[in-house]
Amino acid sequence: MKRAEEQTELIEENEEKEELSEFEEESHVKTREKPLRRVKKSLTCTQCGMSFSCLQHLKEHQKIHTSVREYMCFECEKTFSSAKCLKQHQRIHTGEKPYKCSHCDKRFSRSGHVRRHERIHTGEKPYTCDLCGKSFTIKGHLTTHTRVHTGEKPFTCDQCGKSFAQSAKLREHMNIHTGEKLYPCDQCGKTFLWASILKKHLNIHTKEKPHSCSLCGKDFSLLHHLKEHQKIHTGVREYMCFECEKTFTSAYCLKLHERIHTGEKPYKCSHCDKRFNQSGILKTHERIHTGEKPYHCTACGKSFSQSSSLHSHTKSIHAALPASVQVPESTPPVGINAAARLLTGAKKYDHITPILASLHWLPVHFRVQFKILLFVFKAFNNQAPSYLKDLIIPLPSTRLLRSADRALLSVPRSRLKTKGDRAFSVTAPVCGTNCF
């Protein structure tokens, strides 16, 4: 990381020296009586080949190679190779911004920054790529763009040896090794490794989807997602699997598919030893351990661990029931059957079971079992009356059995099948044993 900072500081100081040489004529011209002619750059640095027209500028530049930093900031103790760089740095602490844009009210701490900003208003792009003709407003952007053609990656990670064309990309990459998440979300407090991921995450809270498909009208929060979606309409599948020759619209989908052939499962559950080939499947699996159910039904309040389960629940149950008709839990069996016939328009003597099944309602006998099991659950958790808790007796065991952890209940004998087996003291242990 230290090496990356040194590389970044070297490039920043080089840009400052270039800025000096580029605008030295403008800084020296105080009056317009005698315009200063452009001085030819005749002084060259022997280390990097950079040219200067002033000996003083060359000497200051050579301090970059010798690592001489004789100017120190008393606020943060950072050192610099020239008094000009120190003065510019001190404006960070003082907040001084003496340079104002002539087109708007924005102010800057450096003259070079205000000149770059004014190009936004004027549309000037003086730096052009010789290979593809693309133009830029800042010379540093052209330098970075040129590396696309040359393949140069001067910034190298000390941890893994990976190289990057930009110092900012190296700094973002170093967060992977350090584990630092420097970008928190103001809405939910979640932190991220990179600012680009935070920007994508904020669309969840704002629900802003500015990119719309012209063919089907579907909206997207990111332009990249829209371009991937449009390949569905055009039928373009430029990524092919060499194993089965199946084609895909994106490299990411191809990468996920290839794991079927290779058997690679890079995502491991932190609670058990199970592994998965997709991160989304891992997140869904871990909710089994954590009990998290982030998807809630707005109609009945029921929660689900998967969005697909919520979609199926909403489509099958609430879509069949009008919003004006709500059947409470305490509705008696006769009332449930009558409500089901009313909603479906069935006749009085039509069989009720298929009608209840079409509405996804429980038949009467299953509803009775549900109520009994609810009382058993409350008795186990000391939420039922004492006269019901006394009827729920755990099954005694004289030896260690594999069923010892199943919470089996003792079923008493009854004299009459018609009335004795219907008693709560008999039915509750039977239902509880079969369920648990």
pLDDT at 27: 40
pLDDT at 34: 43
pLDDT at 325: 43
pLDDT at 326: 44
Strand partners, 275: 268
Rounded to two decimals, what is the model's pTM?
Answer: 0.39
List the domains of the chain with CATH numbers: 1-25+52-96 (3.30.160.60), 155-206 (3.30.160.60), 211-262 (3.30.160.60), 267-316 (3.30.160.60), 331-361 (no CATH), 365-435 (no CATH)
Q: DSSP 3-state assignment of 239?
A: strand
pLDDT at 435: 65
pLDDT at 321: 45
Task: Determine contact, residues 153/163, Cβ cutoff 8 Å.
Answer: yes
The one-character DSSP state at 277 is S
pLDDT at 333: 55
Q: Please count the other Cβ atoms lying within 10 Å of the Cβ belonging to residue 27.
A: 9
Task: Determine contact, residues 368/336, Cβ cutoff 8 Å.
Answer: no
Distances (CA, A) of 303 to 294, 299, 340: 7, 11, 25
Mean pLDDT of the chain: 78
Residue-wise pLDDT tens digits, 283-322: 899 999 998 888 888 777 788 888 888 888 777 666 544 4
> Rounded to 5, what percent of the chain is helix, strand, coil?
45, 10, 45
CA distance 56 to 65: 15
Q: DSSP 3-state assignment of 144?
A: helix
Low-confidence ranges of the chain (pLDDT < 70): 1-41, 316-335, 397-407, 417-420, 434-436
Nearest 5°: phi and psi at 202? -65, -25
Residue-wise pLDDT tens digits, 228-279: 888 888 877 888 888 888 888 888 888 889 999 999 998 899 899 999 988 8
Task: Determine contact, residues 257/279, Cβ cutoff 8 Å.
Answer: no
pLDDT at 318: 63
Task: Determine contact, residues 16/84, Cβ cutoff 8 Å.
Answer: yes
Task: Determine contact, residues 185/202, Cβ cutoff 8 Å.
Answer: yes
CA dihedral 10, 14, 19, 21 (to 10 degrees): 150
Which residue's entry shows tokens 């911004």?
97
